[in-house]
Structure 1
């Protein structure tokens, strides 16, 4: 941490027990010029403290700090600030490319004559390997063991690389496979609420903050830790000590009152909250929860609500520190000194919720949680909440309106060789899964009690249902076993399938081939019910077209009922041993039953024991050979991990910037091209450039895996950039897919780009409004760079993608208002020269000279969207990685 200029005389000391901490006091800053900041939302107090601590008159100025105080007047701001999180959290899909880049930087450091040991993350990084386990096996006692073995078999090359990274880098820890979901491991172990760092002879205390390479990083907001998901490039920037540029956000206050009624779950609550916030419109905003209702929900309930921030569209869903925070930290085995520090620090900063506080918010909304009723969400969006009483009716409506099969609702077909039939609305996947709910003992113990009560009544799961239990941490297994309900779940087929992110991200594994055939041969609308947070069409399983989010107890109930056409609140789930009907109310536990079992089953020792050696891993992890020492021994034959070419030809002194001369146009795009269109995602098609590459490297089509799993191999990823089957390049009208025109011929974008590179011809892209919206995918910018694109000229950019392009050394420019590539008659056959790059300054106007096919020329004045001095340094260096690498080698 650089020495703060401390313009507002905020630097103080705090004594807790026999330890003294340095901290930056918000109350003192308020006395010294920041009037009213004690009334800020707690989430903005965290941001303010960050600016006070990092004030350096370059990345953070006194005016930036004053802008946070001025926020209180307008309750919004257009002021951009530089924010530095305390740490970075990664999962393996998104984390592998970041570690690949670190390894490549070490190789480059050696070539530059520097010490590779200097290349390390500059803030703590934790990577949790949780996205690779798939549910191939289920419903048997050995399902977990078999799934783990398959996971290592499929991902051996990636795991060898991460195992090396675990030992090679300082400030980097890898949590091995089979441990849990990154967000639950974060909540239960990694997060501290207040972070500390020893430097210059003192211990500095400050709020625990992070960015993560997974959108559900927000779950830890329930523990008063400010964090949210970012793209890989922002995560790498943060990891390498660079600030993240962000606008001071609007903060929407969500007031909770009342108390949940008996039998209502945290999932029911979060689905109602998600519905309300989606309707309100909170995209790009902070949401902060307050009000007396917080006294009546557990911290795990708060984490469940915070987890769903991406689903309600907010940057985060923040809960302040209170007594429940302290109790949770104690109950999960955190150091008593840390718990004492959290309490003292939060109270000293005015961040401790005692009850009755109402900060200033941009806007508010309110929910009396006693009005929440049982619900599901579906069939394809998390915000499409349906009361449980109307779920069957809702599915019938979906059959009529969306699938045009209103007259087929009763249709059933025989399943070959299985002795049962299958119909529309049948639940073929019932999964207790995902970080949203498996962090919450109330719904997991509740699911176990539903299973126990169902077994007593003689109920069974329908034979067409694929059941699975994939908890977010090993502690869950401990308390389910101690509570005695794991046996009941096992008996219904909800045996442990893996610890990780499974059904929610599409790792549900294949259905029984006979069931898959019956669905596809008869065009059946099959359903899944999962306790996850994502249910987008095509995400859960390719055979399943209607997906419903539900609480874990309801997942068990739907597995027994076997169909969405059954009204669980009115129709029987089945019959008991005597043939009498059994209803949901007959097997549903009371809130008190669940609470009693939680109290007798969960101990602090469970957390201490499971996390005492969390980075060691199982025998599979231990058996992986670590190749390479300070630098990685890149295996040439690997199709998963390759040394990227970012640093080829790099010198210690950056080459002077040059204008872009005579560039070809690679793509013409309309409005709202998303990073899903640009970035490689999903399955790899056999006839695509990436599929051809893998086939040439003797990879069978069945082993192609996904783009996500191969993010560490630039050869695959650059071939998949702009290769989305739905992207429409207007240079090739009426054609979908990753194609362009070169020399009058239609070609794959990748093939054309390589030909242009061989000819030393730079490339540009023209686009419409909101270019790069959607998930902030690092490969949308990395792939663009590797294809040889020097500039993207659009009507407007999504904020994060614009900054990602700059981070990769690609220049973003915008047309003047009212202008577009269409208004200038651009068809893609032109050549483009961009002047003024050699003398570039932030946000300068630049001349884009277009030479049309008939030889006529036109100069279009565009705004250069290299916005700050830091971004200018990145462009001059060739990208953020080059900028940081030179600094590290020189240090």
Structure 2
């Protein structure tokens, strides 16, 4: 069906670019029609409004949609959904592999229905960056990078060949090979254009660059003035196939920045402060937009650091409008001058360019932060919003040691000797991982150069990293290595054993690799609470390393500092970080670089040519990538013996018409969970435990323990992933009688089983399952497997006190019903134990968004608890997805029917 675009507001107008004539849809025509005042709208809402205006077709996007967003105001907003049409999609390989597998399965299903499989093809451009698979196996040596790359290909050859096949088989689909950089940094430095030019109906359109990504930190590109955020892989597939992303009109919280960072504070300290502040305010499902005179004192890289952690402060995104800093960054990263001029002219023409004299927009609420009050900080030991000022880290750790970990602040029994390079004692608080890693900071030259300068001063003072610390440097792009070499600072980092170990997420995603065995042995034998300090954005328990319980987020400079100190049980503001060879104490302040030193080093070390050179052949890859053999054909030839890739089962025996929805009767509780259950708790990631159902499956299929690899590398095999769902070693299921990990009771017999084994027994018995949970269910990374695994285990509904935005949407996308306890109620307040059977009535009829649904819980003694919950299908579109069994089934049926 050919789309007919409409222009009822007369907004279509001619616009001249440096490359010729284009068409734009002018926002000021809406103001002329009396629908809005553009300068009062938040900049992010202006971009959203242009998106609707340009895509108005009377079918997917209506005139009423445009009017609704044009009428945005600071007060309460109508719960109206709008169809957002992103310009492009970005994927990383952990989330991208199952997405491509789903597309390949959809092609196979389309062929079975007798339709052309090529109809399953991305209609919206998509870029996949392979950045999540490299692990820190080798470290602290010049050969570490080469060794880790070889292991990466050895473990992931089949997956990489599959992605290379997809690059050839699908149109509008590009793959950035391994060893290039982290997806968000590549997006920021190369893929993002800020303003797009694209052909439509024989005309060239100019419009704002917008994006959705299958990683929650897609928001990093908000620092460049690009509207975008993370979605589930399920939603991203629908967008790639030309479907809108449906969303409610968002509230926008304005954060007014004033002042400038004081000496000694970094952009990392600023973002940890912002995260704590906004978590306290509560910004879930809201846009956050930064404004105020303080913006003039933030580089683009600083802004990207703040935008990156929007998921950690709970917002949909953290937006910075386009201004002169944007243009400066585009030039500095080697973008074409014609693009820079296009960005400036278009954004000024459309009222999307912020200047010092620009009136402040109106916001739902305004918070003010004086950046002069920001102080050096860490966040931890378990959550990114738990900021701890540097001066309080020692006291805070000791308090957490007792209150969170149940340990006394004393040395362990025995001598705890570890033979690494010398005899040392490991104790509670010993830093065993120090990792400069993750997109949050490795995109920012100020903190990376700062880490190099601190390393230089430390080496010159005669300091060295403690021998029990596993160090690593994982730059976000190869340009980072280039400027560290140009500055002469890389050798000093290497003298402290911060050698490059790879170009990817590494430690922040859980790919920290094993601790040296002699260190690991002492940690296990003495049940030590040891620490990791990393420059990442996630530190949830069980994520970084199974043996490391206390995890702290910090700037790259503080990562180096704590590697030198070797412990977090120290006050670096008053105690020496080490001693010279003569025994003279050296303090952190003695080796801390000044802002002036950092700025001067950046000025002489970075140039646009570095970026142009590195990104000139960004899709070519190294000899390993070029040497991969790739299968041919439009349909992927699945190997039934593969333990990495299997055809997803979502379309097996799927009828062309959906079956009627039924009420849920006689359900059992699979898991009874508390607050802040993250997607890390639900979706398997990191190493595969040797005593898990997944290990049993792999061994049954002839895989040696040494070749288990990680869950992330096997995300293309649903048999692996469903066995690891709810298998996190730190999961606390109240049904498991205090036993941590992926355990539950099978009822009514009460046998303690792994959650997977219990779920399979329930499936064999024909028993539907539910999960009961507390507040903030599904926080963290936007892992589609947290929803897919839940669905494959047979869970029909999740009843929680509140949901994180992306995970709730993903549950809907997989046909799992999200239900929300009424305000003030919980499974605890209702006296539920998880041993009840549950009936959920009222979903078989006509459904309305957010309607009430009745639940009846029947106790073992025959008593009943009746309560009402809210149906968290938030729109009529989500109701359609649910009735079809999920978003992919909905899209597939539409395509096969020619809709």
Give the TM-score taking structure 1 as reference length.
0.91
CA contact (8 A) 1:836 1:846 kept: yes
Which one of 428, 432, 441 corresponds to residue 432 of structure 2? 428
Q: Is 1:636 paired with 2:640?
A: yes
Per the alignment, in what secondary structure is the counterpart of residue 551 of structure 2? strand
Which one of 780, 800, 809 corresponds to residue 786 of structure 2? 780
Distance 1:495 1:353 in 2: 41
Structure 1 residues 495-536: Cα deviation after superposition (integer angstroms, max 9, x where no partner): 111111012222222222222223333344333222222233
Q: Which residue does 1:369 correspond to in 2?
A: 371
CA contact (8 A) 1:427 1:559 kept: yes
Distance 1:274 1:860 in 2: 35
Structure 1 residues 306-356: Cα deviation after superposition (integer angstroms, max 9, x where no partner): 112222222211111001101111111212222111111111121111114
Shift of the alpha carbon at 1:168? Answer: 1.4
Q: Which residue does 2:335 correspond to in 1?
A: 334
Q: Is 1:469 paired with 2:444?
A: no
Q: Which residue does 1:191 correspond to in 2?
A: 192
Distance 1:117 1:308 in 2: 38
Q: Which residue does 1:5 correspond to in 2?
A: 6
Distance 1:813 1:261 in 2: 46
Q: Which region of structure 1 is more displaced relative to structure 2, 149-158 or 702-711?
A: 702-711
Structure 1 residues 728-785: Cα deviation after superposition (integer angstroms, max 9, x where no partner): 77888877745454674746664565566667x4735374666953244322332344
C-alpha change, 1:812 and 1:363, in structure 2 (3 Å) is closer
CA contact (8 A) 1:725 1:738 kept: no
Q: Which residue does 1:381 correspond to in 2?
A: 383
Q: Which residue does 1:441 correspond to in 2?
A: 445
Q: Which region of structure 1 is more displaced relative to structure 2, 6-15 or 471-480?
A: 6-15
Shift of the alpha carbon at 1:55? Answer: 2.9
Give the TM-score taking structure 2 as reference length.
0.90
CA contact (8 A) 2:255 2:291 kept: yes
Q: Which residue does 1:345 correspond to in 2?
A: 346
Per the alignment, in what secondary structure is the counterpart of residue 712 of structure 1? coil
C-alpha change, 1:789 and 1:134, in structure 2 (3 Å) is closer
Structure 1 residues 119-167: Cα deviation after superposition (integer angstroms, max 9, x where no partner): 1122111111111111111111111000111111122222221121122
Distance 1:584 1:856 in 2: 64
Q: Which residue does 2:111 correspond to in 1?
A: 110
CA contact (8 A) 2:133 2:712 kept: no
Shift of the alpha carbon at 1:583? Answer: 3.2
Matches within 5 A, 1:732-881: 737-739=742-744, 741=746, 744=749, 746=751, 750-751=756-757, 754=760, 761=766, 763=768, 765=770, 767=772, 772-775=777-780, 776-788=782-794, 800-810=806-816, 837=844, 866=873, 868-881=875-888
Q: Which region of structure 1 is more displaced relative to structure 2, 641-650 or 258-267?
A: 258-267
CA contact (8 A) 1:3 1:54 kept: no
Which one of 696, 702, 709 corresponds to residue 705 of structure 1? 709
CA contact (8 A) 2:301 2:443 kept: yes
C-alpha change, 1:763 and 1:57, in structure 2 (3 Å) is farther
Which one of 505, 511, 518 corresponds to residue 514 of structure 1? 518
Distance 1:80 1:470 in 2: 40
CA contact (8 A) 2:38 2:351 kept: no
Q: Which region of structure 1 is more displaced relative to structure 2, 60-69 or 411-420?
A: 411-420
C-alpha change, 1:304 and 1:815, in structure 2 (3 Å) is closer
CA contact (8 A) 1:430 1:468 kept: yes
Shift of the alpha carbon at 1:791? Answer: 5.7
Per the alignment, in what secondary structure is the counterpart of residue 646 of structure 1? coil
CA contact (8 A) 1:525 1:545 kept: yes
Per the alignment, in what secondary structure is the counterpart of residue 645 of structure 1? coil
Distance 1:861 1:572 in 2: 59
Shift of the alpha carbon at 1:714? Answer: 1.2
C-alpha change, 1:35 and 1:710, in structure 2 (3 Å) is same
Per the alignment, in what secondary structure is the counterpart of residue 131 of structure 1? coil
Q: Which residue does 2:356 correspond to in 1?
A: 355
CA contact (8 A) 1:660 1:762 kept: no
Distance 1:416 1:648 in 2: 55
Per the alignment, in what secondary structure is the counterpart of residue 415 of structure 1? strand
Which one of 657, 660, 665 corresponds to residue 660 of structure 2? 657
Distance 2:576 2:788 in 1: 54
Q: Which residue does 1:15 correspond to in 2?
A: 16
C-alpha change, 1:47 and 1:420, in structure 2 (3 Å) is same
CA contact (8 A) 1:660 1:790 kept: no
Q: Which residue does 1:223 correspond to in 2?
A: 224
C-alpha change, 1:722 and 1:513, in structure 2 (3 Å) is closer
Structure 1 residues 458-503: Cα deviation after superposition (integer angstroms, max 9, x where no partner): 3322222222111000011111111111122222211111111012
CA contact (8 A) 2:19 2:338 kept: no
Q: Which residue does 2:892 correspond to in 1?
A: 885
Per the alignment, in what secondary structure is the counterpart of residue 647 of structure 1? coil
C-alpha change, 1:463 and 1:868, in structure 2 (3 Å) is closer
Q: Which residue does 1:620 correspond to in 2?
A: 624
Q: Is 1:134 paired with 2:139?
A: no
Structure 1 residues 573-592: Cα deviation after superposition (integer angstroms, max 9, x where no partner): 33445554433333333322
Distance 2:306 2:822 in 1: 42
Structure 1 residues 236-293: Cα deviation after superposition (integer angstroms, max 9, x where no partner): 2222222222222221211122223344322232223223223333232221111111
Distance 1:389 1:729 in 2: 36
Distance 1:413 1:205 in 2: 64
CA contact (8 A) 1:469 1:494 kept: yes
Structure 1 residues 46-91: Cα deviation after superposition (integer angstroms, max 9, x where no partner): 1222222233445433333333344315164533322222211111
CA contact (8 A) 2:663 2:843 kept: no
Instruction: Give the CA RMSD over aligned residues.
Output: 3.5
CA contact (8 A) 1:724 1:738 kept: no
Distance 2:389 2:671 in 1: 45
Per the alignment, in what secondary structure is the counterpart of residue 229 of structure 2? strand
C-alpha change, 1:552 and 1:137, in structure 2 (3 Å) is same
C-alpha change, 1:488 and 1:4, in structure 2 (3 Å) is same
Distance 1:554 1:529 in 2: 8
Matches within 5 A, 1:266-345: 266-345=267-346
CA contact (8 A) 1:91 1:127 kept: yes
Structure 1 residues 841-875: Cα deviation after superposition (integer angstroms, max 9, x where no partner): 76778898999999999999987665544334434
Q: Which residue does 1:44 correspond to in 2?
A: 45
C-alpha change, 1:630 and 1:427, in structure 2 (3 Å) is same
CA contact (8 A) 1:2 1:54 kept: no
C-alpha change, 1:60 and 1:606, in structure 2 (3 Å) is same
Structure 1 residue runs without a partner (length 5+)? none
CA contact (8 A) 1:114 1:889 kept: yes
Per the alignment, in what secondary structure is the counterpart of residue 205 of structure 1? strand
Structure 1 residues 371-424: Cα deviation after superposition (integer angstroms, max 9, x where no partner): 333333333333333333443444444445545423549997432474321243
Q: Is 1:415 paired with 2:410?
A: no
Per the alignment, in what secondary structure is the counterpart of residue 630 of structure 1? coil
Distance 2:23 2:667 in 1: 56
Q: Which residue does 2:530 correspond to in 1?
A: 526
C-alpha change, 1:577 and 1:691, in structure 2 (3 Å) is closer
Per the alignment, in what secondary structure is the counterpart of residue 110 of structure 2? helix
Q: Which region of structure 1 is more displaced relative to structure 2, 32-41 or 666-675?
A: 666-675
Shift of the alpha carbon at 1:99? Answer: 0.7
Q: Which residue does 1:692 correspond to in 2?
A: 696
Q: Which region of structure 1 is more displaced relative to structure 2, 605-614 or 582-591?
A: 582-591
CA contact (8 A) 1:76 1:362 kept: no
Shift of the alpha carbon at 1:877? Answer: 4.1
CA contact (8 A) 1:9 1:32 kept: no
CA contact (8 A) 2:225 2:326 kept: yes
Q: Which region of structure 1 is more displaced relative to structure 2, 863-872 or 236-245?
A: 863-872
Aligned residues: 889
Structure 2 residue runs without a partner (length 5+)? none
